[in-house]
Structure 1
């Protein structure tokens, strides 16, 4: 996140990041995707699109066609109740080979068409067009859908995914499906040492996310640990200046985190209690004929599915509006996207149109209380965003990301949604539309080029352009 990154750089905690910031461009307010969950954000980074196009709605969502809850790993208890076999299948295979839309191309696919090499290290979102075999660890062979202990997936030419696929045969990680920050750095250093670094390489250091969930947003020790690994990578070159001359470096945060309310019982919005008069699907048994609602919680946002056709949006909205900890309730209507709130009065509606142009040159028609999304009107029918960056496009993306009758609910800062077996977050959490999770830092060093807009969906075009 911008603030702890800047503090770490200014106080000597992160000399490598400080060097890259001082010798390149620093963007403190890059807009990511929504929900602000890694699989959705990484899909937006790789495809240059929001979920209405790439169709990865969040870390968990309900598949209307298959009548099943899709979960890519929200927490250990939820994963066990949904079934370890199915969760691993969704996370490592179906996300890339079935769920992500074929109407979009990833950076890896775009580069392959140009005959340009690429690599993915430690990312669950990796779709390319090179067949790669994932080797399941012995312990999990009986628990997965792997055929004879292997799984052929479509990936970039170079793929590293923890115990399932490694660049270095001697590298090791205790993480099953993805390596920790040391594993990731060792894989990248091997490519540099062997002079096999592709034209484009994406590495993900995941460890900071878990630390912040428990320790809060201003944890600098995690940044310091990752910076030490970046130092080792830069030391692979005769000098750090030479590393910048030979390569373009992008350091990107995928999502921020909002600090949680100090009173955990007050911080949790339990959807089961709020909508207790309805029959809710239990994740361990799946959808039953008499079920009325399905909850898919992505920390500070949630999808609420109305699987019973006799239930109206309005009756669910009436119950949700009674909770002042919910700041946005959104749903699709015949005339566009509708917004109400539990903390504010009023109604707002929008759709793609021509009445207003926003700061990203996107055109919209709006009607009603635009203060619900903190929209700021300027001269000449221009529109800027306040607490909810690029709110219209990002909400539109989430509400058109998949089929079904559902609501999107967004929690105020300090609060977190809960359904069945949802993991708690005592220090901080993410997932919502709010700027605390939506604005992330970007460092670009080694080029004078820049993306068209400071949004994660604009980086694909920038990266492909850089490889020409």
Structure 2
């Protein structure tokens, strides 16, 4: 089950009854979305392809199966090593892209995490079993109201809010993070029986144009969009591409349009990252979009295209090779918070699993994070465990118990001009240290010090980060697993480095990190 299709995950496990959906009237989107700038002003279309990997692009081009990607690369810039955020889950990645900040600032720690204020697990929609156990009403509230309304730091503007401030128009198609300045309504379809206390119509804030599957379709009656139950409620590439095509052909493009393409992720979770079927289909869909301008060549003259993956994937071992690390078994005899329950005085720890990464929270003062980390580190399938004590972040390598610690500010400078103090075995995070000139370089864990620190500072609580070695994934009692398929969430290269293709401009990004792309996009739009 796809990690980010929150609405599809919830709706697919509900009962379908006869009836019709009330038309979603959002004509104001089409009246106000078109850019008011002159025709020579830059426009940007950003295509975010979930789990798109450079290795798949390169192999597909080698096999002469990806003519559209090849065309775009030959006529633009192609980077294979943009560093995603951490954990490498879509809600966190999108939040970093659209705010220009890591999770310590934007406040969305992962697809699933624990709120010490609410004393419950926050789940935006992981798998059907977790949704049922967590309570459908609570998951819908977190996904549809709280994610954009309160969890995403209100003090940090999104790119949509920044653009509105300077008078530029923007739009989001199927983006999970979409907070903007304009009023919109998400409407839960009547033909679905929803066991929830939520109102049918939910007021939200978004960009000038907001399309969000069957919940917000400003093109209802204008374009035949795949938005039924069998089409994942519109959370699919066909919905996204056709919506964007309409804006292009109707001459209603905003200055900035974010288009989320979710289908590839689901395919790779099932088949593994080496499967090329999904990226071949994506190639045709991108070509279809380019043809909306008359030809791909004309498209590149009129619009700056940015195509981006959000995270990579690791091939997981088949079921017979024990690829799932069952965390409750490792903490046998400990009182663990169950999904859907509220923590009590008897609750000792909480688990929040994001596929190959997880948060482990301790609620009892008589337990130490060091103690819990020692328990986990004995399993050779664990990559590392990290937690913070005072100003220091401690890291233990799984299977070896090698230790490393670091803190912000110091005499070591990385390639992003961030300074650190480091001690003990830097090899735990595969750091290359040059003591002579005070430089350090990242190896298997890109921008590891900042990204790990951001996760550990992303929300309140006494917790640690756990990651699995390649081939393995973590699990709680009801977590979805992907044995023999693909998984992500961790901080390693394979899951962290994503491709970036840019056409229509010679301006280059200063740094190849997801968190730095917002400022780059704003420069493109205001140059």
TM-score with structure 2 setting the length: 0.86
Alignment correspondent of 1:167: 218
Deviations 1:180-208 (A, max 9, x none): 11111000001111111111011111111
Is this contact kept in 2: 1:327–1:410, CA < 8 A? yes
Q: 2:264 aligns with which of 174, 196, 208?
A: 208
Q: Report 1:90-109 matches (<5 A).
A: 90-109=142-161
1:343 CA drift (Å): 2.5
> Is 1:357–2:413 an aligned residue pair?
yes
Q: Secondary structure at the match of 1:344?
A: coil
Is this contact kept in 2: 1:131–1:152, CA < 8 A? yes
1:241 CA drift (Å): 1.3
Deviations 1:15-60 (A, max 9, x none): 1111111100000011000000000001000011110000100000
> Is 1:304–2:393 an aligned residue pair?
no
Instruction: State how far apart, in whole Å, the 2-side matches of 1:272 and 1:178 are.
Output: 35
1:240 CA drift (Å): 1.2
Instruction: State how far apart, in whole Å, the 1-side matches of 2:62 and 2:287 are.
Output: 16
Instruction: State how far apart, in whole Å, the 1-side matches of 2:411 and 2:282 are.
Output: 46
Is this contact kept in 2: 1:281–1:295, CA < 8 A? yes
Alignment correspondent of 1:283: 339
1:103 CA drift (Å): 2.5
Deviations 1:201-221 (A, max 9, x none): 111111111111110101111
Alignment correspondent of 1:454: 512
Alignment correspondent of 1:135: 187
> Is 1:156–2:207 an aligned residue pair?
yes
Q: Report 1:57-76 matches (<5 A).
A: 57-76=109-128
1:424 CA drift (Å): 1.2
1:145 CA drift (Å): 4.7
Is this contact kept in 2: 1:89–1:144, CA < 8 A? no
Instruction: State how far apart, in whole Å, the 2-side matches of 1:93 and 1:163 are.
Output: 16
Alignment correspondent of 2:498: 440
Is this contact kept in 1: 2:120–2:341, CA < 8 A? no
Instruction: State how far apart, in whole Å, the 1-side matches of 2:247 and 2:70 are.
Output: 24
Alignment correspondent of 1:292: 348
Instruction: State how far apart, in whole Å, the 1-side matches of 2:129 and 2:233 are.
Output: 17
Instruction: State how far apart, in whole Å, the 2-side matches of 1:34 and 1:344 are.
Output: 24
Q: 1:221 aligns with which of 277, 288, 293?
A: 277
> Which 5+ residue runs of structure 1 have no aligned equivalent?
none
TM-score with structure 1 setting the length: 0.97
> Is 1:421–2:478 an aligned residue pair?
yes
> Is 1:405–2:472 an aligned residue pair?
no
Alignment correspondent of 1:42: 94
1:84 CA drift (Å): 1.3
> Is 1:21–2:21 an aligned residue pair?
no
Q: 1:272 aligns with which of 324, 328, 333?
A: 328
> Is 1:381–2:438 an aligned residue pair?
yes
Deviations 1:127-157 (A, max 9, x none): 111111111111457434543x211101111
Instruction: State how far apart, in whole Å, the 2-side matches of 1:455 and 1:2 are.
Output: 15
Alignment correspondent of 1:319: 375
Alignment correspondent of 1:237: 293
Alignment correspondent of 2:57: 5
Is this contact kept in 2: 1:13–1:220, CA < 8 A? no
Instruction: State how far apart, in whole Å, the 2-side matches of 1:258 and 1:285 are.
Output: 32
Tell me the C-alpha RMSD between the 2 structures.
1.4
Alignment correspondent of 1:84: 136
Is this contact kept in 2: 1:33–1:50, CA < 8 A? yes
The number of equivalent residue pairs is 467
Is this contact kept in 2: 1:92–1:124, CA < 8 A? no
Q: Secondary structure at the match of 1:424?
A: coil
1:177 CA drift (Å): 5.3
Is this contact kept in 2: 1:167–1:187, CA < 8 A? no
Q: Report 1:161-200 matches (<5 A).
A: 161-169=212-220, 170-174=224-228, 175=231, 178-200=234-256
Q: Secondary structure at the match of 1:255?
A: coil
1:346 CA drift (Å): 2.4
Note closer, same or farther for the CA distance 1:351–1:139 as it changes in structure 2 (3 Å cut). farther
> Which 5+ residue runs of structure 2 have no aligned equivalent?
1-52
Range moving further from structure 2, 133-142 or 111-120: 133-142
Note closer, same or farther for the CA distance 1:143–1:157 as it changes in structure 2 (3 Å cut). farther
Instruction: State how far apart, in whole Å, the 2-side matches of 1:274 and 1:78 are.
Output: 20
